[in-house]
Chains A and B, each alone.
Chain A
Amino acid sequence: MKRLPVYGLLAEFSGPDELKAAARRAYAEGYRRMDAYSPLPIEGLSEALGFHHTAVPLIVLAAGLAGCFGGFAMQYWISVVSYPLNVGGRPLNSWPAFIPVTFELTILLASLASLLGMLALSGLPMPYHPVFNVPRFAQATRDRFFLAIEATDPHFDRESTVRFLESLGPTTISVVEQ
């Protein structure tokens, strides 16, 4: 793969509203390969970047259903097929007694899937990322807001993109090294 000289450009903003306005402007300008970084979740920011749907709920649903049906099937197989115990002639498939464990396994698998699914879709854990090369980026987990336009974007051009970012009124603009 051809290594690009820079990862992209990083513009710093002082507040969440400025960042959201800048993200909207950049999207309207035609930029698509970009990301915004903030110390707290901002309502509507991911939509401003053109990101609307996430597969997290589907993953959680699938895992929950797997836990539900898998959990019941396990108890059925153990109690009816593998190790049938005749307790006073009661039915082997005593399904009401299997509900608590079925329920717990549904919750267990769905919960694991929500954390792991969120991490996997986001590509985490990722110890190295080029934006960490910018010293000021350490403030992104404190009180600073950043918009990154990546060099892989078809509209990216070192000079014109800098000019565009300057027009958004950021406090600083940094070049992100690979």
Chain B
Amino acid sequence: MIGPGYTYASVTDTISSIVLTRPSPLAWMLGIGVSFLLVLMLMLSIAYLLAVGVGIWGIQIPVAWGFAIVNFVWWIGIGHAGTLISAILLLLHQEWRTSINRFAEAMTLFAVACAALFPLLHLGRPWFFYWLFPYPNTMRIWPQFRSPLVWDVFAVSTYGTVSFLFWYMGLVPDLATLRDRARNWWAQKAYGVLALGWRGSAIHWKRYQIAYLLLAGLATPLVVSVHSVVSFDFTIGIIPGWHSTIFPPYFVAGAIFSGFAMVLTLAIPLRRIYHLEDFITARHLDNMAKVLLATGLIVSYGYFMETFMAWYSGNLYEMYAVMNRAFGPYAWVYWVVIGCNVLAPQSLWFSQVRSSPALLFPLALIVNVGMWLERFMIVVVSLHRDFMPSAWGFYTPTIWDWSTFVGTIGLFLALFFVFIRLLPVISIFELRELVPKPE
């Protein structure tokens, strides 16, 4: 599972040194610099949006959802792989999750943060976002609980909270390690406060393990429910191309597919720059690639079933929606999606591809792009031509659509770089459990 020759002390020292003693590599400096510039661009875009309104985006009837919802679904989907790794693989006793769960959970949190920005900005008056929650108010009105958009508020806020709890709980024993190993007074105090006084008592460990397992058991149905609820935002509507019962499972598989692509995108440079090849081994990459292949096949099945059901239903509008996807004005999106999400992952049948970081990394990027375009296809291509040709339209994103989207990529990466610098990227105490016992 991990490289040979490690002891409790050496895994502790290796992982904690990234935070405590090793100087930041040049790649980190460059990375945080570039991503921080993108964060500034995001701030500018948001400020202009708040000043002028959503008219700065390309959204217009009939396509009122545009980039904001495409980006929301893409980001929240990416988050799903983190919870899958931390919760479901824990319950299934997949020990290889140990090396990747910490940063995958961090990825989940940051992806959810980016995702949550978009529906809020899309509200038009984001400063009234709290109207989404049921609280007694002087207007004497309440949210409409029959609406999937309200379900979404609860699903995403619960998901963000539970992801944070899971991540923080896993961090507590490692924060205690950092507290005891830090030499800098400020670091000792900061880690000391965050570690809550953890001292590794056997009785505390017992409660900790039970609570951690329960949390994993709770997060497992949660992660399935979140993207199902996101898919309800579409399926409850009657738009051709949205109103389909395959959406919940197909969205969940797509979420895990894109999330594993993002985990690979982050893990491959991370293990190289910080020399973590002994912990994130070739076997880990191979396993992640297999998950990518399996979920990619489920997604392909989803595409196939959508097309088949449109034909089998005999419904004029459903059939037109499929034809319009493949041969309409946005046909290039459809064919790029098929190329990225159906054809490209087939290379993962070959172990040479699965074992080569140099091939896996570009493939992961291709899947990231493909899954973003898939959401573009679902949101924009379905909306732009519905029932009445007189109501058809065309959607073109503006510069502000792009700057907000690219800005959130910067926010995601900037948060991730800060995380690498301040917290252990691999769970130290769980790695100790993988070390063979000293004789």
A111 with B432: in contact, given A56-B211, A105-B154 (CB under 8 Å)? no
B interface size (C-beta, 8 A): 64
Q: Which of B194-202, B359-367, B413-421 contacts A (4 or more CB under 8 A)?
A: B194-202
Question: Contact: B196 with A125, CB < 8 Å?
Answer: yes
Q: Shortest beta-carbon distance, B179 to chain A, in Å?
A: 8
A82→B161 CA distance, assembly (Å): 29
Q: Shortest beta-carbon distance, B35 to chain A, in Å?
A: 30
Q: Which of B26-34, B43-51, B217-225 contacts A (4 or more CB under 8 A)?
A: B217-225
B65 at the interface (CB under 8 A from A): no
Which of under 10, 10 to 19, 20 to 34, or 35 or more describes the interface residues of A?
35 or more
> Counting chain A CB atoms within 10 Å of each CB, which of B196, B206, B432 scores highest?
B206
Question: Contact: B437 with A15, CB < 8 Å?
Answer: yes
- Taking CB atoms and an 8 Å cut-off, the chain B residues in 146-198 that contact chain A are 146, 148, 150-151, 154-155, 158, 161-162, 165-166, 168-169, 173, 176-177, 179-181, 192-193, 196-198
Partner of B203, one of A17, A51, A75, A94: A51
Closest to A74 in B: B134
Chain B residue numbers with a CB within 8 Å of A140 are 180, 199-200
Partner of A40, one of B144, B161, B222, B433: B433
* A interface: dominant SS: helix
A108→B200 CA distance, assembly (Å): 27
- Taking CB atoms and an 8 Å cut-off, the chain A residues in 27-62 that contact chain B are 35-42, 45-46, 48-49, 51, 54, 56-57, 60
A104 at the interface (CB under 8 A from B): yes
Contact with B along A121-136 (1 / 0, CB 8 A): 1101111110110000
- Taking CB atoms and an 8 Å cut-off, the chain A residues in 55-97 that contact chain B are 56-57, 60, 64, 74-75, 78-79, 82-83, 85, 87, 94, 97
Question: Contact: A83 with B141, CB < 8 Å?
Answer: yes
B388 at the interface (CB under 8 A from A): no
Question: Contact: B197 with A114, CB < 8 Å?
Answer: no
A98 at the interface (CB under 8 A from B): yes
Beyond contacts A74-B134, A111-B162, A122-B204: 17 other A-B pairs, Cβ-Cβ < 8 A, are A17-B437, A48-B202, A64-B218, A75-B145, A79-B142, A79-B145, A83-B141, A100-B154, A100-B225, A107-B162, A107-B218, A110-B214, A111-B161, A114-B214, A140-B200, A143-B8, A143-B12
Shortest 6 CB-CB distances between A and B: which pairs?
Answer: A143-B8, A125-B196, A118-B211, A126-B197, A46-B206, A138-B180
